[in-house]
Amino acid sequence: MITIKDKQFEPFIHHEQIAERVAALAQRLNADYTGRNPILITILNGAFMFVADLVRQLNFDHEIQFAKFSSYDGMDTTGTVKELIGLSIDIKDRDIIIVEDIIDTGTTMYHLLPRLKEKGAKSIEIASLLMKPGKLRMPLHVKYCAMEIPNEFIVGYGLDYDGVGRNYKSIYVVKEN
Ligand code: IMP
Ligand code: MG
């Protein structure tokens, strides 16, 4: 059990299981992207640990870029998406893989996808470490997802509670008293 600020969290997904699922996702990308030199647009801050583990298992040429949006405030999604670090790179006629930590309501991805399409990407797919299918509110196709979880708030492996807890190598779930 760990305590972050006012909340307690208990073990949820062990780091060995995360590693297995990330490796399996890397294999799928290896099968699909060889010879295409895609750009992995990684969404900060949460996906930094996932992308680091993921790219070390990719055996095709690719580029990595970062973008930052914000839709979360504490434990609640705010429904609006602010662009904090923009996408200045040229993505015309490029294959894009968006690397995300977790798809919750889908709001962040739903706002990002049209912006990338406008810039002329050849293809766009989402690779997310986690997804909460029960909370998805937007029509979103997530082709690559390492793990699906119930509607619970989690921390660790890049994910935070109010800025803290990203450093844990396993994932923890909030304990409701
Ligand atoms: P969405 O826009 O509602 O899909 O929210 C996506 C973003 O909210 C993710 O990129 C995370 O940064 C954050 N988020 C969603 N669920 C959790 C959670 O359980 N723990 C920590 N952050 C989360
Ligand atoms: Mg995020």
Burial class (CB in 10 A: 0-12, 13-18, 19+), 111: middle
Report the chain's mean pLDDT, rounded to a whole number: 93
pLDDT at 48: 98
For 65-103, how does the pLDDT look when each residue is reduced to its tens digit (9 = 90+)? Answer: 999 987 655 555 666 677 666 678 899 999 999 999 999
> Among the CATH numbers 3.90.1150.10, 3.40.50.2020, 1.10.10.10, 3.40.50.2000, which is that of 15-149?
3.40.50.2020
Ligand 1 is surrounded, with C-beta below 6 A, by 46, 71-72, 77, 100-108, 153-155, 159-160
pLDDT at 84: 63
Q: Which ligand 1 atom sits closest to the C-alpha of 108?
A: 2
Token pair of 113 as six digits = 């996808």
Residue ranges per structural domain of the chain: 15-149
pLDDT at 40: 97
